[in-house]
């Protein structure tokens, strides 16, 4: 059995009912963490899951609502006695940024009993762990000239790049959008996907409805909810579901669902 655990479902502004981004895939008692923007350890514990069972961490991009929870995750694993190594996978700049976090937050490698590794991925990277695979695709979030100019201004140390993921297991394929410029970023990776987890922090609901109808997506989970829609789940579901034959769900914190 494979489960999705939604730990944080807000977009850039957390709300009283939604923490910043964090989702875990649970397979064979292993947790694969996608983004770490909020208090993922507290959320996992509320769901009776042990953060020490995190097998790998995958960061879509380095905005704080997607990566800001990494220091407390590292400290939690240090203080709870983890011994198994942990790898944080992220886009270009991840090696340097994790080392900076370790120094800034006084959590250097020497004080914990597990090895913290980093690996920078690109579109050619494949993560394979027994019966689950992660593949990575670039989105156009952060890709415009404005971000390129800012990166140059800051000696190319911002690394403004964002990705989404394709995850395959047991003959199934799911697409995790990451942050997007628009839904068309997903078109190349949709074939064969039976579930799409689509962000709603930067997307117009009517455009999302048109996209889902056009591409005949079997099952859609809307995640990364913009704060203006924080308490409008039913309204959002009705807008997206209009004239759409697929299954639509609105994610919420601490929701566990079987794939």
Burial code (b: 16+ CB inside 10 Å, e: under 16) for 19-36 equals bbbbbbbbbeeebbbbbb
Question: Catalytic residues, which ones?
Answer: 65
CA 160 to chain centre: 16
Q: Could you tell me which of 114, 130, 118 has the C-alpha nearest to residue 52?
A: 114
Question: In the chain, helix, strand, coil percent, each to 5?
Answer: 30, 30, 40
Strands 172-176 and 163-169: antiparallel
Q: Could you tell me which of 104, 141, 134, 106 has the C-alpha nearest to residue 119?
A: 134
């Amino acid at each position: 059995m494979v489960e999705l655990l939604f730990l944080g479902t807000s977009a850039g502004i957390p709300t009283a009912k939604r923490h910043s981004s964090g989702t875990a895939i649970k397979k064979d008692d292993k947790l694969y963490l996608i983004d770490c923007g909020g208090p993922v350890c507290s959320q996992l514990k509320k769901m009776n899951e042990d953060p020490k069972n995190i097998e790998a961490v995958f960061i879509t991009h380095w905005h704080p609502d997607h990566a800001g929870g990494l220091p407390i995750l590292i400290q939690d694993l240090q203080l709870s006695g983890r011994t198994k190594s942990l790898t944080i996978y992220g886009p270009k700049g991840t090696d340097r940024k994790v080392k900076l976090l370790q120094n800034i937050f006084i959590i250097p490698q020497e004080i914990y009993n597990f090895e913290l590794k980093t690996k920078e991925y690109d579109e050619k990277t494949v993560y394979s762990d027994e019966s689950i695979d992660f593949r990575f695709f670039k989105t156009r979030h952060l890709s415009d000239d404005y971000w390129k100019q800012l990166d140059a201004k800051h000696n190319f140390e911002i690394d403004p790049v964002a990705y989404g993921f394709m995850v395959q297991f047991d003959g199934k394929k799911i697409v995790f959008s990451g942050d997007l410029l628009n839904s068309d970023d997903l078109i190349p990776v949709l074939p064969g996907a039976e579930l799409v987890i689509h962000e709603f922090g930067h997307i117009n609901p009517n455009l999302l409805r048109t996209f889902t109808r056009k591409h005949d997506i079997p099952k859609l989970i809307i995640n990364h909810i913009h704060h203006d829609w924080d308490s409008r789940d039913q309204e959002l579901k009705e807008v997206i579901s209009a004239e759409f034959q697929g299954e639509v769900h609105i994610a919420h914190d601490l929701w566990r669902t079987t794939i």
